[in-house]
């Protein structure tokens, strides 16, 4: 094992520690506390296919109530973190987040339209997922049609403009919605929540997440080259246009799936990649998996806090904003330092 890999081991150990702590807290803490011993017995019995030596209500809380929510939080946090890592490297900017190209705004518009027409939860998720993909596709088509020496800058500016337009669409739908039934549902969804997560919600989340994450990890070595200026990357023989499309498509896929499941959960894709980078360094071969692990643990802790900090559940977006805002201010203050 070379020195570079050895130097990353403590960072991965910390990331796995955060994930393990997040899983333990998510399963055991709540209005119905569960002991670590009971959790261990239920999970080992489930893996072995034998009856668990615990009360039936404890097993039900672990497997049916908290289990789907815990898995959804871990996958959503990992997805947003890995998407943020990819976008920050692609755009060579530490202040970029997964919604830079309008994926979150498109998903939000799709979801509120589904709620407005009183569709089922499944169709609302489908609308949200499709809205995110369509929004980013439109941004990329418009940005590619504009000839410029700096395609990255054009893409970012196009994403900002299209995102603003989609945000206006969300505002219009909210204005037209029923203020007693539809509007509260829209507001709650836009603030992010995993309260109603079921086992059925894990299937549409896992598929896109697995595909998008596999593509990004497969491209991890080329993503290191894409962090260089455009001309340097091309001089090294990298097909930057095709590679950029693949990275954007994969990152958008996991972002849209996450937003369709959990609503708008901001800041995770912004702050977690920086945490991971401080642990394992800037090499995407280590940074991508570390971000996914750390992101899963981070959102597990946030979700646990959301359902225990107050008598009523606090939306995830509020808590991530409370944590992310001071981090963002610190990041702006340290922008004069090198970022690599």
Distance (Å, whole) CA 157 – CA 313: 36
Q: Which of 301, 303, 307 lies closest to 20, judged by CA? A: 301
Strands (E), 252-291: none
Residue 175: how many CB atoms within 10 A of its CB? 9
Residue 243 resides in a domain: yes
pLDDT tens readout for residues 111-122: 999 999 999 888
Length of the chain equals 340
Residue 262 resides in a domain: yes
Q: How many domains does the structure of the chain reveal?
A: 1
Residue 191 resides in a domain: yes
- Beta-carbon-side half-sphere exposure of residue 90 (alpha carbons within 13 Å): 33
Residue 181 pLDDT exceeds 70: yes
39-48, 128-137, 271-280, 307-316: least confidently modelled range: 39-48
Distance (Å, whole) CA 46 – CA 250: 33
Residue 340 resides in a domain: no
Distance (Å, whole) CA 128 – CA 122: 10
The confidence score (pLDDT) of residue 236 equals: 75
Helix (H, G, I), strand (E, B) or coil at 325: helix
**Averaged pLDDT for residues 224-252:** 84
Range of the domain at 284: 3-333
Residue 141: how many CB atoms within 10 A of its CB? 10
pLDDT tens readout for residues 146-180: 877 777 788 889 999 999 999 999 999 999 999 99
The confidence score (pLDDT) of residue 339 equals: 47
Residue 274 resides in a domain: yes
Q: Which of 208, 206, 200, 212 lies closest to 122, judged by CA? A: 200
Residue 338 resides in a domain: no
317 contacts 191 by C-beta, under 8 angstroms:
yes
Task: Extract the tokens encoding 279.
Answer: 């642990």
Residue 261 resides in a domain: yes
Residue 337 pLDDT exceeds 60: no
The confidence score (pLDDT) of residue 329 equals: 80
Residue whose structure tokens are 């893996």: 47
**Averaged pLDDT for residues 134-147:** 88
Give this prediction's pTM: 0.90
As a whole number of Å, the CA-based R_g of the chain is 20
The confidence score (pLDDT) of residue 300 equals: 97
pLDDT tens readout for residues 17-74: 999 999 999 999 988 889 898 899 888 888 888 887 888 888 899 989 999 999 999 9
pLDDT tens readout for residues 272-302: 999 999 899 989 999 999 999 999 999 999 9
User: CA 292, 298, 302, 308: dihedral to nearest 10 degrees?
Assistant: 120
The confidence score (pLDDT) of residue 340 equals: 47
Q: What is the CATH number of the domain that holds 46?
A: 1.10.3470.10
Residue 339 resides in a domain: no
Q: Which of 307, 335, 261, 314 lies closest to 32, judged by CA? A: 307
Residue 7 pLDDT exceeds 80: no
The confidence score (pLDDT) of residue 291 equals: 96
128 contacts 104 by C-beta, under 8 angstroms:
no
Q: Which of 300, 99, 117, 266 lies closest to 194, judged by CA? A: 300
pLDDT tens readout for residues 195-236: 888 888 888 889 999 999 999 999 988 888 887 777 787 887
């Amino acid at each position: 094992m070379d020195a570079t890999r050895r130097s990353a081991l403590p960072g991965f150990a910390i990331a796995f520690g955060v994930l393990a702590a997040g899983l333990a807290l998510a399963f055991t803490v709540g209005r119905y506390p569960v002991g670590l011993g009971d959790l261990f017995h239920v999970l080992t019995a489930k893996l072995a296919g034998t009856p668990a030596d615990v009360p039936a209500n404890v097993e039900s809380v672990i497997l049916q109530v908290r289990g789907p929510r815990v898995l959804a939080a871990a996958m959503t946090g990992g997805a947003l973190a890995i998407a943020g890592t990819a976008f920050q490297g692609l755009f060579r900017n530490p202040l970029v987040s997964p919604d830079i190209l309008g994926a979150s705004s498109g998903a939000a518009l799709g979801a509120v339209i589904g709620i407005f027409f009183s569709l089922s939860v499944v169709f609302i998720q489908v609308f949200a997922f499709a809205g995110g993909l369509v929004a980013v596709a439109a941004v990329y088509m418009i940005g590619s049609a504009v000839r410029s020496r700096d395609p990255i800058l054009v893409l970012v500016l196009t994403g900002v403009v299209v995102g603003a337009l989609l945000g206006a669409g969300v505002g219009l739908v909210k204005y037209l919605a029923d203020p007693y039934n539809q509007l509260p549902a829209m507001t709650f969804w836009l603030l992010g929540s995993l309260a109603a997560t079921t086992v059925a919600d894990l299937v549409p989340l896992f598929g896109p997440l697995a595909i998008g994450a596999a593509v990004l990890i497969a491209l991890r070595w080329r993503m290191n080259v894409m962090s260089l200026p455009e001309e340097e990357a091309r001089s090294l023989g990298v097909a930057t246009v095709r590679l950029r499309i693949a990275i954007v498509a994969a990152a958008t896929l996991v972002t849209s799936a996450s937003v369709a499941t959990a609503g708008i959960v901001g800041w995770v894709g912004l702050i977690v990649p920086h945490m991971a980078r401080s642990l394992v360094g800037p090499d995407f071969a280590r940074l991508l998996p570390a971000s996914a692990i750390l992101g899963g643990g981070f959102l597990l802790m946030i979700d646990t806090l959301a359902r225990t900090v107050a008598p009523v559940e606090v939306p995830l977006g509020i808590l991530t904003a409370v944590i992310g805002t001071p981090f963002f201010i610190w990041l702006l203050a340290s922008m004069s330092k090198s970022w690599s």
